[in-house]
Structure 1
Amino acid sequence: MSQVLANYEEQLANAKMPAGKKKVLITSLKLFANNGFHATTTAKIAKEAGVSEGTIYKYFSSKDDLLAKLLQPILMEIKNNFFSNLDDKTDLPSLIKFIVTDRIHFIEVNFDFIRLIFQEILTGQLTDKSYQDFFSGNDGIFAKLKEFQVNFPEINSVLTPPQITRIFIGPILTYVLQNKLLGLPVNNDDLELIQKQIIANLTFKY
């Protein structure tokens, strides 16, 4: 299991909540990550957790509600992990290289759950609050990108945080999707190209 999910599982284990609810959340986390949301029934969750299906519906109105309750804190865990160890990068090329190489690995390791999150956003299962906090909260992605913009003045000051997000996400996500979903060949030259593309778009004077 990836570090993000392992960290969250530890948080759940130490959380103050009814034992039955904790068992359901921890078991659901493992089953959704390993088998996928749609292949995991509430009956299987109940059996693996050693509780009745009634216990699941005591705390969650539906399997979708259970997933949403799991995903919201996982979004925060992913955000915090994704932006860790970036403060020691003193120049923009080093920062971009680290994000492209190390964070692509991070996305690939956590891909099953990240894909699940995207699916739930597209199908409307995640509430607006869930992903608004992820992007626009006080410690969200946009706030962190604004800090980068201040720390690296060569980044075009006209760019907004959503625009910077697209500059990063576009080539990185396309690379990962080609590799993980389509099985298209990728190599180190692709990573170097992505780094150049991101730097060029961040520093281009519009």
Structure 2
Amino acid sequence: MNKPSFEEGLLQYVEELKDESEMTEKQRNILRASIKLFAEKGFHASSTSEIAKEAGVAEGTIFRHYKSKKDILLAVVAPVLLKVAAPFILKDVREIFKEESKKPFTEVMTQLYRNRLELVMANEKHVRIMLQEAFFHDEIREALIASVFADVKEMARKLIEAKVDVGELRPLPTQAVFRAVLSSMIGLILFRQVLEPDEFGTYSDEEQIALSVDILMNGIANRE
């Protein structure tokens, strides 16, 4: 069974808001339309008139429920990060760290990098928009850090310390190892999806993942 896309998760969240005293049908329509347009065009390129047209309401109706377009964004994104994005992003990570923890660290990283690359490729526009809005809006950035980053950091800390204890990893500061892992993974995704997607194709995704993990584990110095 295919996993739901991030956008499907957002829309499902809107549908599950049952309390009509908190969410009228017009508000639902506005949020549905906002999710669709924000996902397609981004926050800044989406106008309230376009949202109103997509939602089938007058533009003035939007401003009766929300003071500004940013209020719509926060109404959609802030709770969604807690209700949808965090479980969506973290689910596979938890499973990888739990199920793969007895395997060599190299295998765990390979599985993690592969999984994260597949997630971004399947939800590219939504991930890009989320990161763009996190850059411009403190509320969204703080929600991302609180709901996703903190959990990932704690899971990584436990795994790294366990691998140090059994002698598989050098006894380096855990924070430095986590930073190296995260930086390598972000670099892999950034070059694959944004900076050099054509050049990246020189090697298969699996070969690129293997190279990234090899450099992470062994460095670039010739020690022979």
Shorter-chain TM-score bucket reads: 0.7 to 0.9
Counterpart position of 2:11: 9
| DSSP-derived class of the 2:67 partner | coil
Instruction: Please tell me whether residue 76 in structure 1 is matched to residue 86 in structure 2.
Output: yes
> In the aligned structure 2, how far is the partner of 1:135 from the partner of 1:85?
15
> In the aligned structure 2, how far is the partner of 1:60 from the partner of 1:165?
40
Could you give the per-residue CA deviations for residues 114-153 of structure 1, whole angstroms, max 9, x where no partner exists?
222222222235355313313565xx22222223234433
Could you give the per-residue CA deviations for residues 63-97 of structure 1, whole angstroms, max 9, x where no partner exists?
22322332332342443245243121131222111
Against the structure 1 CA distance between its residues 43 and 193, is the aligned structure 2 distance closer, same or farther, given a 3 Å change threshold? same
Counterpart position of 2:222: none
> In the aligned structure 2, how far is the partner of 1:178 from the partner of 1:62?
35
Which ranges of structure 1 fall in alignment gaps of 5 or more residues? 202-206
1:166 to 166, 179, 201: 179
> In the aligned structure 2, how far is the partner of 1:78 from the partner of 1:157?
32
RMSD value, Cα:
2.7
> In the aligned structure 2, how far is the partner of 1:33 from the partner of 1:84?
26
> In the aligned structure 1, how far is the partner of 2:49 from the partner of 2:91?
32
Shift of residue 170, structure 1, vs aligned partner = 2.0
Instruction: Please tell me whether residue 44 in structure 1 is matched to residue 47 in structure 2.
Output: no
Which ranges of structure 2 fall in alignment gaps of 5 or more residues? 220-224
Instruction: Please tell me whether residue 35 in structure 1 is matched to residue 53 in structure 2.
Output: no
Instruction: Please tell me whether residue 63 in structure 1 is matched to residue 74 in structure 2.
Output: no
Matching of residues 66-145 of structure 1 within 5 Å: 66-72=72-78, 73-74=80-81, 75-86=85-96, 87-89=98-100, 90-91=102-103, 92-127=105-140, 129-135=142-148, 137=150, 140-145=151-156
Given residue 122 of structure 1, which amino acid in structure 2 is its aligned partner? F
| DSSP-derived class of the 2:29 partner | helix
When normalised by structure 1's length, the TM-score is 0.80
Shift of residue 44, structure 1, vs aligned partner = 1.0
> In the aligned structure 2, how far is the partner of 1:78 from the partner of 1:193?
27
Shift of residue 52, structure 1, vs aligned partner = 2.4
> In the aligned structure 2, how far is the partner of 1:58 from the partner of 1:169?
43
Paired positions, count: 198
Against the structure 1 CA distance between its residues 200 and 52, is the aligned structure 2 distance closer, same or farther, given a 3 Å change threshold? farther
Runs of 4+ in 1 over 4 A off after TM superposition: 155-158
> In the aligned structure 1, how far is the partner of 2:55 from the partner of 2:187?
37
Against the structure 1 CA distance between its residues 197 and 2, is the aligned structure 2 distance closer, same or farther, given a 3 Å change threshold? farther
When normalised by structure 2's length, the TM-score is 0.74
Contact 1:33–1:112 (CA under 8 A) maintained in structure 2 = yes
Could you give the per-residue CA deviations for residues 49-74 of structure 1, whole angstroms, max 9, x where no partner exists?
12222332233332223223323323
Against the structure 1 CA distance between its residues 97 and 28, is the aligned structure 2 distance closer, same or farther, given a 3 Å change threshold? same
Contact 2:33–2:54 (CA under 8 A) maintained in structure 1 = yes
Counterpart position of 2:194: 181
Counterpart position of 1:152: 163
